[in-house]
Structure formats: structure tokens, C-alpha cells
Amino acid sequence: MSAAYAHECDIAVVGAGISGLTACAHAAELGASVVCIEPNILLGGLVTNVGVLGSYPAPTAVSGSGLAEALRERCTMRGTSLLTSRVTAVAPAADRFDVVTLDGTVSAKIVIVASGGRLRKLGVPGEAELAGRGVSQCDWCDGGLFRDADVVVVGGGDAALQAALHLAEMCRSVSVIVRGQQLRARWHYLQAAADNDRITFHWETLVERIIGTECVEAVVLRTAQDGGLHELPARGIFIFIGTEPNSGFLPSQVKRDSGGFVETDCDGRTSVPGMYAIGGVRRGYRGLIVNAIGDGAAAAAAAVEALREDAIR
């Protein structure tokens, strides 16, 4: 887009993750003119880092990037405009919204916010300094660098267990650091990890700091019960402790919870009429691919219905 760029459409979708792409395709198929705005050239969001989508109901294995590409093709076939830029603000203006980007403004009757979330960081000494040198949040991107090495995975959900299982295929050992006494991952991941001799669990344990000069050499762990510290040698540490919502650009009228996640109803409607939120940016999102697709389809259907009702009045 040029600095003078302006675009008018029925629906502007902010974000091209799985939920956003689904919303674009579904809304376009229902007859709406759709513009999708995404800052990254590669579409699909965080799921593109997943090699095999365990929760996607397909007859054969599907990768995150493969699903994103299929949805992108579906969007372009239905006439969706895909714009590469970052949204800095969404401003209600009379009966429309001005979606302000770094390269211009998109004017839309309805906005669907699908900006997703970003992976949380530990916030401990050594994490920022050794990022890209042993500190990672993508096992499919970086796992091959640690073949036959000892690594650490932090987290107790699906993402952490998936990473641990994937890394165990190539690493000598995988130590999973769990803050509590139990895991939140699905049963088949738990069973597979428990049966894998290369995976060990450290319960009620926190990462205190990451040690290394040129690269990660060890992590310092603190036992939650007694506060005792011990050092665990490791070449890499993979962090999967949840996400934070990308909701800071939204107007103050949009109701959010204490964590910044947008409050919505079952169809994604927010506290601002004409604005919807779906996927990882909204409160209550469960994080599965089927949830992302369901969110996108539901919001798109509700948005197009609202457009038709306005046209009739």
C-alpha cells in the first residue's frame, strides 16, 4: 500500500492466522467484499511452526503451513484482498470503521479482529541475551540444531508436550519443566511422553535463569516447595508457557479482561457494535485448530447477516 492508500470494503479482517483466513474465505463465499490485513508475508500465524496438526480432523497428516496455504488459496479464489501491513488502530467512524495501518487506511462496515497472540516469555536473566543461540520457541524451526544434545522444554500444555515428543526424536534427552503438579495437555500426548525414555519431568519447578556465554550451556531451576536451586546442563531451551493477546491497537471501548483478551459472545461480537474478535485474541479461545476454524466461520456468518439486516432497513 502507498501512503495515500485507501480501501473500502464490507468486512476488514485484521490478521491472517487460521481463524482470520477462515473468516475471510467464509465471508467472501457469503457475498461480502473482504480485505485481510496481515503484517507478515507468511500467513497462518503461530500454527505455521507446527509440523503435524494433531487436532485437525483430516484423513492424512496436515502441517500448519499446509493448512494455511490451502486457506489462502480459498481466500484468493473468492476475491479476498490480502494486504501486507501492520494495523496500528481501529477507529469507529459514524457507520463504518477506519482501520489504520502503517501504509494507509481501510474503511470497513464491519471489522473482525483475528490478530492472535504472541508466545509468552519467561522474563528471566539470559533469555533475551541468548535468544536465537539456544533459546527458542519453535521446535520445528530449530530442533535440528540440537541433534544428540540435551534440551529443556518449559510448559505443561499441548504445545510443550508436542515439542517434547518432536525433540525426543533427535535429541539425547528432553527435560520438561512443569510449574505445577500436573499437565494440561491432551491424554495421548501425556501417554506418549510418559512412555518415551528420553523425556523426563521436573514437577513444581521454575526456571530461575539461563546460563551461557556464546550459547546456552545450562538452566538454573528452582524447586517451588523448598526454593532449592540446582543447575541443569542443556544446549537448548524451548519455551511454551501460553500466549499474550495482540489487542493493544484496539479502541478503549472494546471490553477486555485483566490479561488483555477481548470479551466476546459465542459469535465473536465484542462490546463495540460491528466489531468481532476471534481466535487467540479473545477470551475463552481453547487453542485448537478446530476452534480457530469454528471461530472464523461463526463470526463471518454473523457479520454477513448483520450486513444484510442493515441493507434491508
Cα–Cα distances (Å) from 167 to 79, 144, 175, 298, in that order, read: 40, 8, 10, 36
**Shared fold status for 5-118+243-312 and 121-239:** yes
**What local confidence, expressed as pLDDT, does residue 55 receive?**
64
CA dihedral 144, 148, 149, 154 (to 10 degrees): 60
CB atoms within 10 A of CB 21: 32
Q: What is the pLDDT of residue 203?
A: 96
Q: What is the 3-state secondary structure (H, E, C) of 164-181?
A: HHHHHCCCCEEEEECCCC
The SS3 of residue 85 is: coil
pLDDT, tens digit only, all 313 positions of the chain = 333 445 899 999 999 999 999 999 999 999 999 999 999 988 878 777 777 776 666 666 778 788 888 899 999 999 999 999 999 999 998 889 999 999 999 999 999 999 999 999 999 999 999 999 999 999 988 999 999 999 999 999 999 999 999 999 999 999 999 999 999 888 989 999 999 999 999 999 999 999 999 999 999 999 988 889 999 999 999 999 999 999 999 999 999 999 999 999 999 999 999 999 999 999 999 888 899 999 999 999 999 999 998 866 4
What residues does each domain of the chain span? 5-118+243-312, 121-239
The Cα 287–Cα 271 span in angstroms is: 22
Collapsing DSSP states into helix, strand and coil, what is residue 295?
Answer: helix
Q: What is the pLDDT of residue 45?
A: 80
Fold of 5-118+243-312: FAD/NAD(P)-binding domain (3.50.50)
Helix (H, G, I), strand (E, B) or coil at 10: strand
Cell numbers given for 156:
505443561
Q: Which CATH architecture has domain 121-239?
A: 3-Layer(bba) Sandwich (3.50)
E strand map for the chain: 5-14, 34-38, 81-84, 87-93, 96-101, 104-113, 117-119, 135-136, 150-154, 173-177, 199-202, 205-212, 216-223, 229-233, 236-239, 243-245, 275-277
Exposed (0-12), middle (13-18) or buried (19+): which is 20, by Cβ within 10 Å? buried
